[in-house]
Amino acid sequence: MSAGDDYDDRPSAVLVSGDQGGFAEWLHVRLVRARLGWAAPFVLWLVGRFSGKGMVIAIPYTFLFVFFLVPFLIVLKISFSETALAIPPYTDLVEILDDGFDYYLTFKLNLINYWTVLSEDTYVRAYLNSAKIAAISTALCLLIGFPMAYAMARASESIRPMLLMLVILPFWTSFLIRVYAWIVILKTEGGLLNTMLIALGIIPPDEPLRILSTEWAMYIGIVYSYLPFMVLPLYANLEKMDLSLLEAAADLGCRPTKAFWSITVPLAMPGVIAGCFLVFIPAVGEYVIPELMVGDNVRVIGRKLFTDFASERNWPLASAVSVILLAILVVPIVLFQRQQARLQEAGQ
Amino acid sequence: MTKGLTKINLVALTFGFAFLYIPILILVFFSFNESRLVNVWGGFSLKWYGELFRNDDLLGAAWVSLILAAATSTLSVVLGTVAGFVMARFTSFRGRTLFSGMIYAPLVMPEVITGLSLLLLFVSIDWGRGLGTMIIAHTSFCMSYVAVVVQSRLVSFDRSIEEAAQDLGATPFKTFFVITLPVIAPALVSGWLLSFTLSLDNVVITSFTSGPGWDTLPVKIFSAVKLGVKPEINALSTIMILIVAVGVVVASLIQKRAMVERQRAERLAAAANE
């Protein structure tokens, strides 16, 4: 600090320890210049309490903790309460009873919601059905996405950025619009596909194809919406591959098909795994696609959860449904997180 | 190896891109249809665009969506950049596993779960639902995308220039703002744009966390589509697709120019060294 500056609150800077003095001093000058000198001691005390590194970590940590983790704990709590005609529409776990003489603190863990979910056939079937649909959709995404990503990665370097942009572009356009586009195409009465097939005489006019409102619509919707999530990690992986390995294999007499299966595919596994997680996990809980394209014919858990919450106004039941859904998905989520962390560290 | 596309690769690309683009192109094509029916071409017309601009309800919702998306992406870039920085630079601190879990989990978490849990949080702390709760809810998943983008940029970052700045007496904070931030700026721009589109598109988390009178455009479209196919929605979709396409092309041009300039600067620096 040079003499003659227009601040003299030096004692507060003493609170700041060690190597963070630079920032504290900078902050102090800024605060004083902004005529907020009165706030300086408090802010400096805060900075002094935590090291600079601690502060930097604390900002996003606190946000995610409060708005991502704590909400799950609240869901867990409410899943043990009962639905009630009140605002908010559930009972408290902890109640203070007053019988005129004494106060009693009661604590009730209600398991009825879990019992409902695990014993009722509709719920069990909805979970299984969602998992099945998500798994088949993931496989279909891989089937379409892998050849695409492979072809992109092996295309000449000059057109690769353009191909990449072409994959990303639909991902940036609204998901809702893309689902809507398929409704226009697949509608049974007056849909484009049926109009075309009837005009070409492939199907009789009185027997249009029923695709919307069936499981097929789920597969088309999910594969179409999530395909970029499969292609992008696969492309990132295949593009980095060392092609001299294939040349070495060819030199040693390995046929291209065999080289593909014994070199390219194993090396692409991290991309395959990342892509599969990115499609499978959100697809299990998908709500918009079943709501718009399928309706009541195919029961899936995301839609069941939303109906329990919105139409039935049974928040505790919806909470129990989502706790169980999360319990099912926690293993893939943790595996995904571990894999991503490992990939990032390998990059370092 | 830059040999041309083999036949099978060409088939894969053609099929893949046809699958991705034909539905979108059909949507755009029929937005100019005179007829109300989507399967009959009744001649070229802009009347659905006219209807759209007379629909105050949708325009109001579009305005809410834009404000929400702008606020969300700005907050997400601030928080996500710090989070990405923490992930890339602080490799060991207490609770890092939990932190990395909270960064990656929102990327795959089913939206119904995130939406319900945030709603229950807002209800239990008695926070009235409105624009504020929607911004918080959108930021809680958008910032993860920004964090991942920023983290991967920082991993491939040449740290020697940061070290040089610090050797010359810059504080860690000054180094971050003067050296690191300008270098990773393109990542922040793509993070902002990504958050903007994710926020502009969200239906599920918005329906859980929005209050009365704060309907966003996707929520309106969602309820309209539930009732059936409407040509106005085609017109609206076309406008949104056009905005996104222009945005993506402009962003990639800016990035390309920045890359060319950086390469020129590097060549100059290399020449000066000789």
B203 φ, ψ (degrees, to nearest 5): -105, -50
The answer to whether residues B71 and B132 touch, using CB atoms and an 8 Å cutoff, is no
User: Does B183 touch chain A if contact means CB atoms closer than 8 Å?
Assistant: no
Q: What is the per-residue pLDDT across B54-81, written as a single tens digit (0 to 9) for each?
A: 888 888 898 999 999 999 999 999 999 9
Mutate which: B104, B151, B200, vs A, most A CBs within 10 A: B104
Structural domains in chain B? 55-273 (1.10.3720.10)
Q: What average pLDDT does this structure show over B24-36? A: 85
Q: Which two tokens stand for residue A231?
A: 């292609």
Measured CA to CA, the distance from residue A185 to residue B27 in angstroms comes to 9
pTM comes to: 0.83
Measured CA to CA, the distance from residue B25 to residue B45 in angstroms comes to 17
What are the extents of the domains in chain A? 10-78, 82-110, 112-347
User: Does B243 touch chain A if contact means CB atoms closer than 8 Å?
Assistant: no
B24 closest CB neighbour out of A71, A178, A287: A178
Q: What is the per-residue pLDDT across B114-139, written as a single tens digit (0 to 9) for each?
A: 999 999 999 888 888 889 999 999 99
- Cβ contacts of residue B171 below 8 Å, gap of 6+? A22, A23, A26
What pLDDT was estimated at residue A37?
56
SS3 category, B157: coil
What percentage of chain B has pLDDT greater than the value 70? 97
A232 CB neighbours in chain B (<8 A) are: none
Measured CA to CA, the distance from residue B219 to residue B196 in angstroms comes to 16
The ipTM is: 0.85
B241 CB neighbours in chain A (<8 A) are: 173-174, 177
CATH topology of domain A112-347: MetI-like fold (1.10.3720)
A181 closest CB neighbour out of B23, B121, B197: B23
Alpha helices per DSSP H over A36-85: 40-49, 52-64, 70-78
The minimum CA-CA distance between B269 and chain A, rounded to whole Å, is 26
Print pLDDT tens along chain A (348 aa): 344 444 444 333 333 444 445 666 666 666 666 555 566 566 656 665 566 777 788 889 999 999 999 999 999 988 988 877 666 777 777 777 777 777 777 777 788 889 988 998 999 999 999 999 999 999 999 999 999 999 999 888 888 888 888 888 887 778 888 898 899 888 888 788 888 888 888 888 888 888 888 999 999 999 999 999 999 999 988 988 888 888 888 888 888 888 888 888 888 998 999 999 999 999 999 999 999 999 888 899 999 999 998 888 888 999 999 999 999 999 999 999 888 888 877 764
The answer to whether residues B17 and B30 touch, using CB atoms and an 8 Å cutoff, is no
DSSP class of residue A218 equals H
